[in-house]
């Protein structure tokens, strides 16, 4: 089980436990008698007066019945023929206190429940494994046709920042040589594309493409790689690392979850030489 799944389960359990505790607390308060703890203790210790008082629920129920049938008492008075006004009877402060306390208790429980529920929901939303995009997942670049068009139009590999790679054309007439060197990336090469990780295999700088030489040239220490990422010069110990490409259905999908280590130094399947002046004078070899 993954860490995320455990975190989600823990969050759900916490929220349920919290809700149970709150529910239990509210029930306990509702069923408490009107007598205080000391009074009950005193009653128990010195007399036969052991009857517990009415519960909060009883009082509330009685109040509700009285509220629903307000006419009963008045009618009884009217029946006697007495027309004098009924005297104001003050509300029993104890009854009032109980209902008010219940009101506060319940609103508190409701508010805490809502808060806890909201917290749980946001935790779940945060931890829920969403469909990941970008580097580390499979990056959908578009149709094969469209990718070729963009490369040709720009006269340089297509840079996909989302996946931190370049898509470069791989010449069809070099496939026989590539067959002997490459593995998982071969399928994409056969479709005419290679996905090169932008990170220099020397010390990790981002390697830009030099449009004049038509090579990748690292500004940090002058490593050079040809258009398909094979090492041509500088301190880089191998060719550029790469990613597997899936072109099924004419769509280009690059899996950046696993980096394929670049080909060893000296690999040269295309024989492409620099096509113009270099962008980086590879003077600073370390
Ligand atoms: Fe690119 Fe050193 S990091 S050459």
Q: Ligand 1 atom closest to Cα of 236?
A: 4
> According to the model, what pLDDT value does residue 284 have?
46
> According to the model, what pLDDT value does residue 12 have?
78
Dist CA 235 CA 243 (whole Å): 22
Rounded to two decimals, the pTM is: 0.57
CA–CA distance from 65 to each of 58, 61, 72, 114, 157 (Å)? 11, 6, 11, 30, 83
Q: Ligand 1 atom closest to Cα of 204?
A: 3
The answer to whether the CB of 235 is under 6 A from ligand 1 is yes
Q: Ligand 1 atom closest to Cα of 234?
A: 4
Beta-carbon contacts of 201 under 8 Å, excluding residues fewer than 6 positions away, are: 223, 231, 236, 237, 238, 239, 240, 241, 262
Q: Whose CA is nearest to atom 4 of ligand 1?
A: 221
> According to the model, what pLDDT value does residue 3 have?
62
| Ligand 1: centre distance to CA 235 (Å) | 7
Mean pLDDT, each 10-residue run in order, the chain (286 residues): 69 78 66 62 60 75 75 54 72 74 85 88 76 82 95 96 95 92 91 96 96 96 96 96 95 94 94 93 53
> According to the model, what pLDDT value does residue 226 have?
96
* 3-state secondary structure (DSSP) of residue 239: coil
Q: Which residues pair with 225 in a beta bridge?
A: 216, 231
The answer to whether the CB of 203 is under 6 A from ligand 1 is yes
Q: Whose CA is nearest to atom 3 of ligand 1?
A: 203
The answer to whether the CB of 205 is under 6 A from ligand 1 is yes
> How many CA atoms, within 13 angstroms, populate the side-chain half-sphere of residue 153?
8
CA angle 70, 76, 81 (to 5 degrees): 130
């Amino acid at each position: 089980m993954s860490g995320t799944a455990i975190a989600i389960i823990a969050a759900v359990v916490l929220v349920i436990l919290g809700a149970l505790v709150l529910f239990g607390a509210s029930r306990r308060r509702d069923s408490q008698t009107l007598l205080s703890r000391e009074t009950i203790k005193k009653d128990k210790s010195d007399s036969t007066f052991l009857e517990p008082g009415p519960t909060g629920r009883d009082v509330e129920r009685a109040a509700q019945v009285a509220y629903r049938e307000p006419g009963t008492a008045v009618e009884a008075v009217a029946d006697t023929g007495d027309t004098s006004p009924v005297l104001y009877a003050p509300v029993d402060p104890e009854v009032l206190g109980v209902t008010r306390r219940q009101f506060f208790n319940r609103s508190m429980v409701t508010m805490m429940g809502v808060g806890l529920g909201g917290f749980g929901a946001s935790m779940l939303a945060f931890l829920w494994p969403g469909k990941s995009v970008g580097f580390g997942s499979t990056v959908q670049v578009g149709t094969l046709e469209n990718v070729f068009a963009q490369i040709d139009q720009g006269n340089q590999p297509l840079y996909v920042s989302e996946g931190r790679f370049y898509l470069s054309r791989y010449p069809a007439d070099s496939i026989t040589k590539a067959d002997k060197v490459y593995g998982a990336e071969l399928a994409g090469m056969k479709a005419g594309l290679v996905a090169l990780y932008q990170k220099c295999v020397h010390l990790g700088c981002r390697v830009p493409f030099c449009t004049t030489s038509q090579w990748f040239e690292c500004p940090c220490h002058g490593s050079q790689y040809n258009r398909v990422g094979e090492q041509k010069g500088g301190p880089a110990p191998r060719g550029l690392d790469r990613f597997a490409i899936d072109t099924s259905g004419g769509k280009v999908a690059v899996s950046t979850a696993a980096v394929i280590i670049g080909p060893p130094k000296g690999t040269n399947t295309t024989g492409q030489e620099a096509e113009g002046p270099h962008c980086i004078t590879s003077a600073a070899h370390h």
